[in-house]
Structure 1
Amino acid sequence: MAAVTTRVRIAVAGLGAVAQSVHLPLILRRWDLFELAAVCDLSPSLRDAVGAQYGVPAQRRYGEVDTMLAEADVDGVVLLTSGSHGDAALRALSRGIAVFCEKPLAFTLAEADALAEAEAALGRPALLLAYMKEHDEAVWRTAELLADADGVRAAEVCVLHPTGESQLDFANLRPAPADIDPAALDRLREDSERLVDAAIGAGTPERLRGLYANIVLGSLVHDTSLLRALFGGLVGVDGARAWPDDAFPPSVEVEGWLPGAVRARMSWHYLPNYPAYEETLVVHHARGSLRLTFGTPYVLNNPTTLEVVAPPEHAVPAGVVRSTFVSTDESFENELVEFHRMVTKGERPRAGVAEGRADILTSQRILRALAGGDLLSGEATR
């Protein structure tokens, strides 16, 4: 039986698919680390249904994040809302409340800089950037092997992305709510448009705006962060394309350089009828290759497989040219455990504000490459 440690009182903002399928079940699983003290969602019916399911009293079910932060008496907040998390995270940090922040951290560098100032004022680590692949045991093993690799030449990421609905068929999600105030949705859209204007410029074509907010920062950022965690991140983007022109989401391909003259390619393909989500990272070096294969992220404890091709003296285990390491550790749970350590022990997380800012900067460079002859303005021109 797990030992009861210092329990962290947390609130969850945003009760949609990822909350219902992943984070809330894991918070319940880790009763030894967390007490779910409050929930928040724009939908009254959803926050009441989920609140009742998880034993959150009616007076601790909120419709506004700021009200929840002011009233709920929590140590941390899990931000699972859509769009940029910059404003909500800043409001939490300004109250001394630690933040577990799902993707993306923010839409703009200015938001990230404001978060860095707020965290510095607290004098302790207070924001964990929750990109689950950075908390995958197989990724950690890959990092160990790369540290001994000789002459890394190339890293290639490929994502095969069916519909979100097909990925979540198993999860028995609650029906999409129909009771959200339209005015609240309008305000969210206006806020997002304003931030995209600041990032890539007002008047930018709608396709580019959608690519930035929904694809590059909304999904591809997981792969940006994976390359950052393993190699230090893209130091240059020298090509990007999106096709076909008459489809959205399209396929997106990005080419660039990692530190040490390592060539990188990221390919992201939205394929609505593809049998199942799949993501691979293949690294080639002078003495072998490493291949990571990730499964559907919403399925808890879904295995991640690392295949190693190496000469006998470097293979795992020794004497085997091809070997496989399989991790069933739950990366989403590892994130929560690390968040608990950050809150209770002051440990710096694997990724925080600085890493989130680096990912935003890389995303803006990708958007510049995707824009081609279209003119951008705002932060993306710096």
Structure 2
Amino acid sequence: MPPIRVGVIGCGAIAQIMHLPYLRELDDRFEITAICDLSPSLLAYIGDRYAVPRRYRDHHELIADPGVDAVLILSGGDHASVVIEALRAGRHVLCEKPLTYTVANARAVAAAQAECSARLLMGYSVAFDPAVEAIRGELAGWERLDYVSLQICNPENTATYAHLDVRSFPDTPDWARGATSLLDDSNPVMGQIESVIGSTPDAAMAQAFFTLHGSCIHETYTLRLLLGEEPEIIDARAWDQGRCVAMTVRYPDEVVVQQSWIFNHGLIDYRQALVVVGGSKRLEAHWPSPYHPSAPTRFQVREMQDEAVIARTVQASYEESFKLELLHFHDVCCGRAQPLHNARHAVLDTAHLNRAAQLVHQNMV
């Protein structure tokens, strides 16, 4: 079978660090035939580096290109309208998080997915980490779960990938690189936030909303995979001008979870830690920075054996989750697999995060 011809929308950091290199490595499965970015300089640089023949500044033109079979949507912001357009054009889609900021938009994508032959895979990269499936298997054998915490301490993103060759250019529009105020009248997301919380957001609330949908989304779908769907949020709060968020959530079988995303000022040391306590067992997992390709996730299980505490360490694989995600996407495009994470899951996650945003807003007032 010939390689899937892909168009890449958005050539920023995550595209340069993960998607583009792995697309080239998997050249027996994918061919990068078109790219799209708002920066003419970045478009020229990436196009030359990867020998991409067709280069667009307008995503509508890329989607309409008959030489494109599938689209990777790696730009920031709300992706709902772009996903719907691509699906209706017959293009399979891999969409980076978040899909959108409102449940109505997520349901519109789900409706388009249902009526189209093309398929949508949500870019939930952590879900493809082999350690997540290994942890699921471990917890399935436990008699009980009593408590779970999942915490991310995140420094400024650019600091965590400063060692990598990631290019950006000053001809990117200010709003696209976050150089304008969140409250700028031209920011279309402000109306969506207002529809969720019921009033005009201030800067702290707007930032908290973006922290939830842009960052806490990783924790949200990971916990959904491990513990079940449609949890109840008991409490949610934000501080540090919305850059830090914490939630208390009750999952099926009365499992209580403390979930937090913390902006770690000045400390260039990413930390994502999961702790699960159940009866006489405790599991602790630590994820590496997502900007360190192929760095493995490890977890340790402690339990009693006679009167001794036994610790067992598991390192599931060195396989990179972004690469495994692309391999699955290829199977989806070829009709050999159904998307593991689709618009239905995005509806659940969007509803969950918007409920958290409502509670954050109530606690701010």
Scaled to the shorter chain, the TM-score interval is over 0.9
Pairing 1:351–2:341 present: yes
For 2:51, the equivalent position in structure 1 comes to: 55
Would the aligned equivalents of 2:211 and 2:243 in 1 still touch at CA under 8 Å? no
Question: Is the partner of 1:321 in helix, strand or coil?
Answer: strand
Show CA shifts across 1:174-228 (max 9, x none). 1x3222356988999433223333333451333212211x200010110011101
Please give the alpha-carbon distance, in whole angstroms, between the structure 2 residues aligned to 1:283 and 1:184: 39
For 2:88, the equivalent position in structure 1 comes to: 94
For 1:340, the equivalent position in structure 2 comes to: 330
For 2:205, the equivalent position in structure 1 comes to: 208
For 2:153, the equivalent position in structure 1 comes to: 160
Please give the alpha-carbon distance, in whole angstroms, between the structure 1 residues aligned to 2:354 and 2:242: 18
For 1:29, the equivalent position in structure 2 comes to: 25
By how many angstroms is 1:303 displaced?
A: 1.3
Please give the alpha-carbon distance, in whole angstroms, between the structure 1 residues aligned to 2:2 and 2:146: 46
For 2:267, the equivalent position in structure 1 comes to: 274
Show CA shifts across 1:49-102 (max 9, x none). 101100101xx1000111110125211111111111111111101111111011
Q: Following TM superposition, where does structure 1 have runs of at least 4 consecutive aligned residues deviating by more than 4 angstroms?
A: 181-189
Please give the alpha-carbon distance, in whole angstroms, between the structure 2 residues aligned to 1:46 and 1:111: 30
Question: Is the partner of 1:96 in helix, strand or coil?
Answer: coil
Q: In the alignment, which of 71, 75, 78 is matched to residue 69 of structure 2?
A: 75
Stretch moving more, 47-56 or 225-234:
225-234
Please give the alpha-carbon distance, in whole angstroms, between the structure 2 residues aligned to 1:202 and 1:370: 13
| Paired AA for residue 15 in structure 2 | A
Would the aligned equivalents of 2:71 and 2:94 in 1 still touch at CA under 8 Å? yes
For 2:101, the equivalent position in structure 1 comes to: 107
Question: Is the partner of 2:151 in helix, strand or coil?
Answer: strand
Written as runs of structure 1 = structure 2, the 5 A alignment for 1:268-307 is 268-307=261-300
Question: Is the partner of 2:207 in helix, strand or coil?
Answer: helix
Show CA shifts across 1:309-356 (max 9, x none). 23459xxxxx99211111311011111111111110252222110111
Unpaired runs of at least 5, structure 2: none
CA-atom RMSD in angstroms:
2.3
Pairing 1:170–2:163 present: yes
Would the aligned equivalents of 1:134 and 1:350 in 2 still touch at CA under 8 Å? no
Question: Is the partner of 1:197 in helix, strand or coil?
Answer: helix
Question: Is the partner of 1:146 in helix, strand or coil?
Answer: helix
Q: TM-score, normalised by structure 1?
A: 0.88
Would the aligned equivalents of 1:86 and 1:115 in 2 still touch at CA under 8 Å? yes
Please give the alpha-carbon distance, in whole angstroms, between the structure 2 residues aligned to 1:184 and 1:169: 20
For 2:36, the equivalent position in structure 1 comes to: 40
Question: Is the partner of 1:156 in helix, strand or coil?
Answer: strand
For 1:380, the equivalent position in structure 2 comes to: none
Question: Is the partner of 1:52 in helix, strand or coil?
Answer: helix
By how many angstroms is 1:31 displaced?
A: 1.1
Question: Is the partner of 2:187 in helix, strand or coil?
Answer: helix
Please give the alpha-carbon distance, in whole angstroms, between the structure 2 residues aligned to 1:276 and 1:190: 31
| Paired AA for residue 82 in structure 2 | A
Task: Calculate percent identity across the aligned residue pairs.
Answer: 29
Please give the alpha-carbon distance, in whole angstroms, between the structure 2 residues aligned to 1:235 and 1:241: 17
| Paired AA for residue 351 in structure 2 | L
Written as runs of structure 1 = structure 2, the 5 A alignment for 1:182-197 is 189-197=186-194
Question: Is the partner of 2:93 in helix, strand or coil?
Answer: strand
For 2:311, the equivalent position in structure 1 comes to: 322
Question: Is the partner of 2:109 in helix, strand or coil?
Answer: helix
Q: TM-score, normalised by structure 2?
A: 0.92
Show CA shifts across 1:130-159 (max 9, x none). 111110101110001111111111110011
Unpaired runs of at least 5, structure 1: 314-318, 376-382
Please give the alpha-carbon distance, in whole angstroms, between the structure 2 residues aligned to 1:91 and 1:23: 22
Show CA shifts across 1:271-301 (max 9, x none). 1222310101111112312111001101110
